[in-house]
């Protein structure tokens, strides 16, 4: 049956009719299929085992580790890639052993001697080091989109927590890299549990059911997908775990509606933008925390914990971030933009804040009301840490105060 292809830069992303559960389900094959397969795969190129044609270096693995014919006494190499003329070979007669006790591999199967046929399948991916110079040479993909597509896409990703901490440039890079994937029917497998993953998906419209099989992969039969454990609707996302941890797909995702729309982000862009930005974000927050008088005495690992617990929040110009007289429950770091502090009875701002400044840190010490109102002068982005999160990570604030003379560093401008 002919296969219908998605319009995508990945020519191997398609809807097929083959399915592991039943013929009523279609499946999207999202992975590239032209890569070298595992030696245990039946499509793997086998070595030439014809008598008289094998010599050192003739096979795929280098060195003549394969026998040219079947014999009663078989020569096995302790190292499957060694030199047959060396000491690594030994003559052993394994024909009297039960089949299950014989060394794995098989000279008549085209595998290296002692090849572990029963080993578990592994998943590997590129190594990304945010601090390496090679990261600067990476060029993100760009897929042109109409104004209408961009508008729809912004709505779809606006409430997705994975993108909440991205700055404007990073967010634009993600939008440019996303590819629209129409799902034209129901009962289509978008991803299958146990498969390798190349894409992260955002749901624009439609609904998708989530199935998990206890075996860790889809099995043959009517119940091969396992039990339904949930559903994903517009604005939701899936597929990030396989990309973040280089692990097989943790669930099977099946379309529910007759027509749905997904946006796909490739693995490289996902890891470069989302994971690298998290690294840079932590470094920035740790530097900020070193300048906060209350927190400057903390050990580096303690500041790293707080950095990971900060929440990024955006406010448009003219927004009241904290209100004078309200109970204090958090402190804020100003990531971008400008803000002013106002006190009742005082004309004009009493203090101005710019990138890297902080306010509201007194809320970590006591329950006194806010001493001033903080109003955004421009569009701003702040990092917020609540009192509960702080105490949960580091214990009571009083213990921290015993390590340092905080009162000597206390500024009257703190809100």
With tokens 């609904």, the residue in question is 207
pLDDT on residue 247: 87
Token pair listed for 340 = 């002013």
Same fold, 147-273 and 292-409: yes
Strand pairing class (199-205; 237-238): antiparallel
Given a contact cutoff of 8 angstroms between Cβ atoms, the answer to whether 233 and 175 are in contact is: no
pLDDT at 282: 79
What are the pLDDT digits (tens) for 136-183? 577 888 999 888 888 888 888 877 777 776 777 788 888 899 999 999
pLDDT at 268: 86
- Terminal CA-to-CA distance of the chain, rounded, Å? 68
Quote the pTM value: 0.48
Domain 292-409: CATH superfamily is: Jelly Rolls (2.60.120.10)
Better-scored residue on pLDDT, 116 or 297: 297
> 374 Cβ partners below 8 Å, 6+ apart?
320, 321, 322, 332, 339, 340, 341, 342, 353, 359, 360, 415
Pick 147-273's CATH classification: 3.30.70.260, 3.50.50.60, 3.30.9.10, 2.60.120.10: 2.60.120.10
Q: Across the beta sheet with 4-5, what order do the strands follow?
A: 4-5, 14-16, 26-29, 188-191, 252-255, 208-212, 227-232
Contact 321, 375 (CB under 8 A): yes
Annotated binding site: 240, 249, 361, 370
pLDDT of residue 191: 94
Handedness of CA 383, 389, 394, 396 (dihedral sign): positive
* Range scoring the smallest mean pLDDT among 101-110, 204-213, 379-388: 101-110
Domain extent listing, the chain? 147-273, 292-409
Taking 60 as the threshold, does the pLDDT of residue 345 lie above it? yes
Q: Are strands 188-191 and 26-29 parallel, antiparallel or unpaired?
A: parallel
Residue 244's nearest CA partner among 276, 213, 222 is: 276
Q: Which of 179, 177, 180 is CA-nearest to residue 138?
A: 177
Judged against a pLDDT cut of 90, whether residue 318 lies above it is answered with yes
Q: Do the beta carbons of residue 264 and residue 177 sit within 8 Å?
A: no
Positive or negative: CA dihedral 212, 183, 256, 220: negative
Q: How far apart are CA 226 and CA 179, in angstroms?
A: 30
Question: Poorest-confidence range of 143-157, 273-287, 324-338, 387-401?
Answer: 387-401
Cite the annotated binding site for 3',5'-cyclic AMP by residue number: 240, 249, 361, 370
The three-class DSSP label of residue 99 is: helix
């Amino acid at each position: 049956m002919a296969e219908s292809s998605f319009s995508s830069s990945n020519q191997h992303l398609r809807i097929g009719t083959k399915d592991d559960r039943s013929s009523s389900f279609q499946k999207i094959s999202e992975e590239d299929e032209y890569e070298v397969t595992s030696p245990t795969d039946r499509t793997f190129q086998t070595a030439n085992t014809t008598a008289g044609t094998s010599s050192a270096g003739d096979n795929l693995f280098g060195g003549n580790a394969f026998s040219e014919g079947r014999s009663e006494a078989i020569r096995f190499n302790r190292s499957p890639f060694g030199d047959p003329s060396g000491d690594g070979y030994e003559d052993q007669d394994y024909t009297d052993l039960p089949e299950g006790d014989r060394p794995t591999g098989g000279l008549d199967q085209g595998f290296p001697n002692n090849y572990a046929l029963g080993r578990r399948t592994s998943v590997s991916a590129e190594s990304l080091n945010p601090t390496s110079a090679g990261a600067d040479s990476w060029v993100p993909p760009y897929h042109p989109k109409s104004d209408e597509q961009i508008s729809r896409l912004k709505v779809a990703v606006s409430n997705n927590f994975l993108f909440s901490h991205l700055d404007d440039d990073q967010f634009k890079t993600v939008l440019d890299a996303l590819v629209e994937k129409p799902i034209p029917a129901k009962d289509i497998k978008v991803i299958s549990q146990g498969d390798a993953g190349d894409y992260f998906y955002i749901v624009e419209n439609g609904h998708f059911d989530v199935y998990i099989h206890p075996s860790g992969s889809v099995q043959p039969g009517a119940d091969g997908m396992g039990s339904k454990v949930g559903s994903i609707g517009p604005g939701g996302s899936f597929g990030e775990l396989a990309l973040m941890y280089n692990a097989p797909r943790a669930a099977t995702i099946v379309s529910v509606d007759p027509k749905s729309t997904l946006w796909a982000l490739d693995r490289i862009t996902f890891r470069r933008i989302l994971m690298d930005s998290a690294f840079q974000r932590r470094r920035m927050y740790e530097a900020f925390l070193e300048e906060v008088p209350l927190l400057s005495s903390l050990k580096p690992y303690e500041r790293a914990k707080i950095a990971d617990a900060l929440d990024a929040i955006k406010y448009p110009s003219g927004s009241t971030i904290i209100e004078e007289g309200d109970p204090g429950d958090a402190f804020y770091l100003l990531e971008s933009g400008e803000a002013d502090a106002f006190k009742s009875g005082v004309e004009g701002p009493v203090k101005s804040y710019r990138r890297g400044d902080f306010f509201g840190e007194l809320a970590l010490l006591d329950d006194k009301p806010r001493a001033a109102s903080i109003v955004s002068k421009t569009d701003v982005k702040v990092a917020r840490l609540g009192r509960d999160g702080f105490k949960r990570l580091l214990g009571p604030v009083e213990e921290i105060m015993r390590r340092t003379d905080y009162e000597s560093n206390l500024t009257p401008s703190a809100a």
